[in-house]
Amino acid sequence: MQYIYKKSLLSRALNIGKIILVCFILTSVISSSLNPLYNFDTFDIFNPDAMMNTNATIHPPMAGAYASGHYRNLFAELGYSNSTIQQKLENVWQQLFYGNDDDQRVYYPAGSDMAYIKDIGNGDVRSEGMSYGLMIAVQLNKQDEFNRLWKWARTYMYHDSGDHKGYFAWQCTTSGSVMDHNAASDGDEWFAMSLFFAAGRWGNGAGIYNYQTEAQGILHNMLHHGTINSVTNMFDATQKQVVFVPYANGATFTDPSYHLPAYYQLWSLWSKEDQQFWADTANTSRAFFKTAANPDTGLMPDYADFTGQPHNDGGHGDLRFDAWRVASNIGVDYSWFAADPWQKEQSDRLQSFFMKEGMKTYANQYSVSGSPLSSDHSTGLVAMNAVASLAATKSQAWKFVDALWHTPVPSGKWRYYDGMLYTLALLEVSGNFRIYAPPGEAQNNPQPIPTTPEATPTATVDKHTPKQTPTPASGSQIAVEAELASNSLSGGARAVACSACSGGQKITGIGKGGTLLFNSFKVDAAGDYTLSINYINADTSPRQISMSLNYGSPVTITFPGKGNANTIGTAQVKVHMQTGYNSIKFYNDSATGPDLDRIAIHP
């Protein structure tokens, strides 16, 4: 009896314990929206719903956002609600731009209509931070703050005359006095891109608020400044690479984090001049990354020779603070254009290295071979590594996204650099870092394109309601109208009526800045194809246009004259298509090309 009684007591105790445990779990789940739970395996705070997805495979899109109009929101894919994501962005904005002076804000109004971004640790204002502030403002639709920052930069940092005319001084005091007249090339690059986006988002104003005109001027100055008392162009014309500093020896090497192929790709479409240079520079930067990255660790140096080899100047042949940003440059480029499959390999390699080093403990400085050079763990590097997830293919990428989510907004003495990178990363990872085409230029294609390899919807060729560029079946030919709505037109290229054309329209105005871009021509298998181009050339003499496949090196195609506007000619060229989506761009920087009716490919 005593044994049975004790067993009964034990049974009751176990049942009571189960009830308490269930109550604890239910209470935790119910309160999870108010209080985060802990992952007892890693002691990380996490969203319970999000954690269910961290082992899921990740599929980078086969078409970039420029072609598809789809910007991935990795936080949403991980399980966070859109309202929570937007609130996080607003909280970051409020703290860094309108928080207290002591340890929160980096944005400081100056007078009635200007403001600056302050490097708190060094007590100065830098073109890097000002241009980041502009980009953050335009992406978050904050025009007043954008205009204030832009007027401060244009008033105090811009050189209206002298050896540096057309450039921005990289360093000023908070009162506007120039501390160093030299330019840092990345600042001018980000200024130009932010201004183009401002023109696209808000339209152009007058004077310095004609954003598009200001952006075009910066592009011109970067390439056409010339050499004046050792002040050089910002891009090496032979190497087609951005230089570290456009002055003396600083112009003989580069900084990998200054390479922004996604921006150059847009400038090849939007610049009034030098479009071919920008297209070539985008491809050069993509190739440069392959030589600059350590093949084992994926780490890149702060400074590099144009060959990609580390430039060992003051320890900058290692991964220091500049080089953090390369992961983001690659992630954004893949997100927008998906032009180089290597970027997926690189992002996986880089994240694998930092995973091995320890997600909560990896250092903020390394030799490119992987030896730690510090014991600090920095928010800015955590942020940039998360952006690499936009191109990554391994499930480990979710851990980097979640690490960014749970990293607090930077505060204190070093909040400037960490805070700017942190905010940019949140925008990029949440799908809020977007392309806004300026007036007169083609916006990214608004038609959705499959974003995972599994998504293969039925193609349609209806030019009035296009859903997807057709896919050629084996041994067959597929024709795509030049006026298809999913194509992009820029620089004066436009659709006009054409009674002789297959779809009743043609694209005219190709050349002298006018471009036609077939955004997403899909093939099931990589290989050699014949591309047939139906055209109209009413002249008796030939016309030429350049064709670039997948933003590669252009080929020149000659279109013999037909002598009238009602005769359709056909030109053919051999092309090598990649599996999945391909882009085909037609343009001529200096002369007028023929009108295009349609293109067709067949094996």
Q: Decide: helix, strand or coil at residue 600.
A: strand
User: What average pLDDT does this structure show over 37-41?
Assistant: 28
Whether residue 18 has pLDDT greater than 50: no
Whether residue 382 has pLDDT greater than 50: yes
Residues 6+ apart with CB under 8 A from 447: 68, 69, 466, 467, 468, 485, 486
Whether residue 308 has pLDDT greater than 80: yes
Name the CATH superfamily housing domain 478-602: Galactose-binding domain-like (2.60.120.260)
Contact present, 522 and 547 (Cβ < 8 Å)? no
pLDDT at 401: 98
Neighbours of 578 (CB within 10 A): 15
pLDDT at 400: 98
Please name which of 443, 401, 404, 424 lies closest in space to residue 139, comparing C-alpha atoms.
424
pLDDT single digits (tens) 53-66:
555 567 788 889 99
Positive/negative CA dihedral, 364, 105, 75, 388 = negative
pLDDT at 486: 66
User: What average pLDDT does this structure show over 106-133?
Assistant: 98
pLDDT single digits (tens) 466-499:
333 444 444 456 778 898 876 777 778 899 999 9
From residue 245, how far is each of 182, 261, 305 by CA, in Å?
A: 7, 18, 13
Active-site residues, by number, are 128, 322
User: Where does 106-252 sit in CATH, by number?
Assistant: 1.50.10.10
Q: Do domains 57-105+267-455 and 106-252 have the same CATH topology?
A: yes
Domains of the chain, residue spans: 2-49, 57-105+267-455, 106-252, 478-602
Whether residue 460 has pLDDT greater than 70: no
pLDDT at 377: 98
User: What average pLDDT does this structure show over 562-568?
Assistant: 90
User: What average pLDDT does this structure show over 28-36?
Assistant: 35
From residue 389, how far is each of 150, 190, 331, 374 by CA, in Å?
A: 31, 22, 7, 25
Which helix or strand (DSSP H or E) is residue 497 part of?
A: strand 494-497
From residue 575, how far is each of 569, 582, 601 by CA, in Å?
A: 19, 11, 9
d(CA 329, CA 307): 19
Whether residue 524 has pLDDT greater than 80: no
Whether residue 560 has pLDDT greater than 70: yes
Q: How confident is the model at residue 34 (pLDDT cuts 50, 70, 90)?
A: very low
Positive/negative CA dihedral, 204, 209, 590, 287 = negative
User: What average pLDDT does this structure show over 509-536?
Assistant: 85
Q: Where are the beta strands (DSSP E) in 192-264?
A: 235-236, 241-242
User: What average pLDDT does this structure show over 362-381?
Assistant: 98
- Tell me the pLDDT of the chain averaged across its residues: 86
Whether residue 267 has pLDDT greater than 60: yes
User: Where does 57-105+267-455 sit in CATH, by number?
Assistant: 1.50.10.10
Whether residue 324 has pLDDT greater than 90: yes
Residues 6+ apart with CB under 8 A from 280: 240, 553
pLDDT at 253: 98
Whether residue 550 has pLDDT greater than 90: no
d(CA 141, CA 82): 17
What backbone phi and psi angles, to 5 degrees, belong to 559?
-120, 105
